[in-house]
């Protein structure tokens, strides 16, 4: 499997906030606006359980873990894309067995801040809060979108304390 370009796919989790440049990466996603947060599990299950096989059938390689990219801060609803990074842009639309339509998109290029969360998904909100605070303390300015990679795929019987999720946010441009 081809791999993701840095900073994605780091072999070790980032224990502190990192600031770096990220390239644009093509993705295959299910996009939703005003999606109810309480239905997030059905969106993710209906996408992630079928998408890799559908892409393989179309001759497209997945190059990294599943992700969710948010275009605004979720409250009771979210504007988001869920999918996989891929080795080449997706042209056209795929329909998953769940009925979800898959289209091509990208992870944006630019300056990003990132860190890792080790533990269950229930701790993500707290980690995002600490990450946001760290970005502010480093005198950086977050902007949209922000995204999370589910580096450790969940599986039945696994210990949630071992899950790794990498958090990314686009940062305001700076003169170099």
Number of domains in the chain: 1
This prediction's pTM: 0.94
Is there a domain that residue 10 lies in?
no
What residues make up the domain containing 89?
18-171
Is there a domain that residue 11 lies in?
no
Is there a domain that residue 32 lies in?
yes
User: Taking the CB of residue 28, how many other CB atoms lie within 10 A of it?
Assistant: 25
Q: 114: part of which helix (H) or strand (E)?
A: strand 110-118
Cβ atoms of 105 and 81 within 8 Å: the answer is yes
Residue 103 dihedral angles phi and psi, to the nearest 5°: -130, 170
Token reading at 133: 């605070």
Q: Report pLDDT digits (tens) over 55-92.
A: 999 999 999 999 999 999 999 999 999 999 999 999 99
Is there a domain that residue 13 lies in?
no
Q: Where are the beta strands (DSSP E) in 37-109?
A: 67-70, 77-85, 94-95, 101-107
Q: Report pLDDT digits (tens) over 82-132.
A: 999 999 999 999 999 999 999 999 999 999 999 999 999 889 999 999 999
Is there a domain that residue 5 lies in?
no
Cβ atoms of 69 and 43 within 8 Å: the answer is no
Is there a domain that residue 3 lies in?
no
Q: Report pLDDT digits (tens) over 5-33.
A: 899 989 999 989 999 999 999 999 999 99
Is there a domain that residue 51 lies in?
yes
pLDDT at 176 over 60: no
């Amino acid at each position: 499997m081809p791999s993701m370009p840095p900073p994605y796919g780091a072999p070790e989790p980032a224990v502190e906030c990192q600031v770096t440049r990220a390239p644009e990466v093509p993705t295959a996603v299910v996009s939703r606006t005003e999606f109810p947060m309480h239905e997030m599990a059905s969106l993710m299950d209906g996408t992630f359980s079928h998408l890799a096989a559908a892409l393989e059938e179309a001759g497209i390689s997945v190059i990294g873990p599943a992700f969710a990219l948010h275009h605004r801060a979720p409250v009771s609803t979210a504007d988001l894309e869920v999918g996989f990074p891929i080795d080449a842009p997706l042209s056209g639309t795929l329909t998953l067995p769940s009925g979800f339509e898959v289209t091509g998109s990208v992870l944006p290029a630019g300056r990003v801040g990132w860190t890792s969360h080790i533990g269950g998904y229930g701790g993500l909100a707290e980690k995002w809060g600490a990450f946001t605070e760290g970005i502010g303390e480093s005198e950086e300015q977050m902007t949209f979108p922000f995204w999370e990679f589910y580096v450790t795929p969940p599986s039945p019987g696994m210990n949630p304390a071992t899950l790794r999720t990498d958090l990314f946010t686009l940062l305001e441009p700076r003169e170099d």
